[in-house]
Amino acid sequence: MARARTPADLVGAQPGPPFEITFDGRPVSALPGQSVAAALWAADILAWRTTRVGGRPRGAFCGIGQCYDCLATINGSPNRRACLVPARPGDAITTQEGHGHEHLGV
């Protein structure tokens, strides 16, 4: 394997045109076939949740849906595993604070 400049070069990826999602209101470009977490990583965003106790930033860790560290609020729904959910045009991703149910007052 020679060094490729990017992972997409390495596998000869020819995806369709990129589309836009938003992260906390700002536009992020995503490619067809990417998960929400992959699209955020590609934009150099590594954290999209703050923890319940310490309010610390977290993002994808295990990458395969086992650790639940990558929970995000996607289109208003909290606790979605960003590493599993495919990105779709227009998705609004927001940083999930704590358990994500703040509005319930619990």
Partner 1 sequence: MSTSASDPAAAPEAAGPAEPSGLYDLAVIGAGSAGLAGAVTAAELGLSVALLDTATGTGGQFYRHPAPAAGALRPEALHHDWSAYAGLRRRLEASTVTRLGGHHVWTVSREGGSDSRESGSAGGPAGGFAGGEGPWTVHAVTGADGCAERPVRVRARAVLLATGAYERQLPFPGWTLPGVVGAGGAQAMLKSGLVLPGKRVVVAGSGPLLLAVASSLAAAGARVPAVVEASGYLAYVRHPRVLAANPHKLAEAALHGGILLRHRVRLRTRSAVTEVHGRDRVEAVTVTRLDRDWRPLPGTSRRIACDALAVGHGLVPQIELATTLGCATRATPDRTTALVLDDLQETSVPDLWAAGEAGGIGGAQLARAEGELAGLAIVSRLRGRPARGGRVGKLQRRRDRMRAFADAMAAAHAPGPGWSRWLTDDTDVCRCEEVTAGTVRAAVADLGARDARTVKLLTRAGMGWCQGRMCGAGVACLAAGAGPGEPPAERRPLAVPVPLGALAALDGAAVGPVGEGPSAGPGDGPAA
Give least dist CB 83 to partner 1, A: 7
Kindly state whether residue 81 participates in binding partner 1, applying the rule CB under 8 A.
yes
Contacts of 16 (CB under 8 A, 6+ apart): 31, 32
Burial category of 52 from C-beta neighbours within 10 Å (exposed 0-12, middle 13-18, buried 19 and up): exposed
Q: How far is CA 52 from CA 58, 61, 100, in A?
A: 11, 17, 9
Question: What is the rounded distance in angstroms from the CA atom of residue 13 to the CA atom of residue 27?
Answer: 23
Kindly state whether residue 86 participates in binding partner 1, applying the rule CB under 8 A.
yes
Which region, judged by CB under 8 A, interacts with partner 1, from 21-29, 59-67, 89-97? 59-67
- Which of 34, 73, 94, 96 forms a contact with partner 1 (CB under 8 A)? 34
Backbone region of residue 19 per phi and psi (left: phi > 0; alpha: psi in -120 to 50; beta: other values) = beta
- Which of 80, 91, 93, 96 forms a contact with partner 1 (CB under 8 A)? 80
Kindly state whether residue 65 participates in binding partner 1, applying the rule CB under 8 A.
yes
| Residue numbers at the binding site for partner 1 (CB under 8 A) | 1-16, 31-35, 37-39, 41-42, 46-47, 51-54, 56-69, 71, 77, 80-81, 83-86
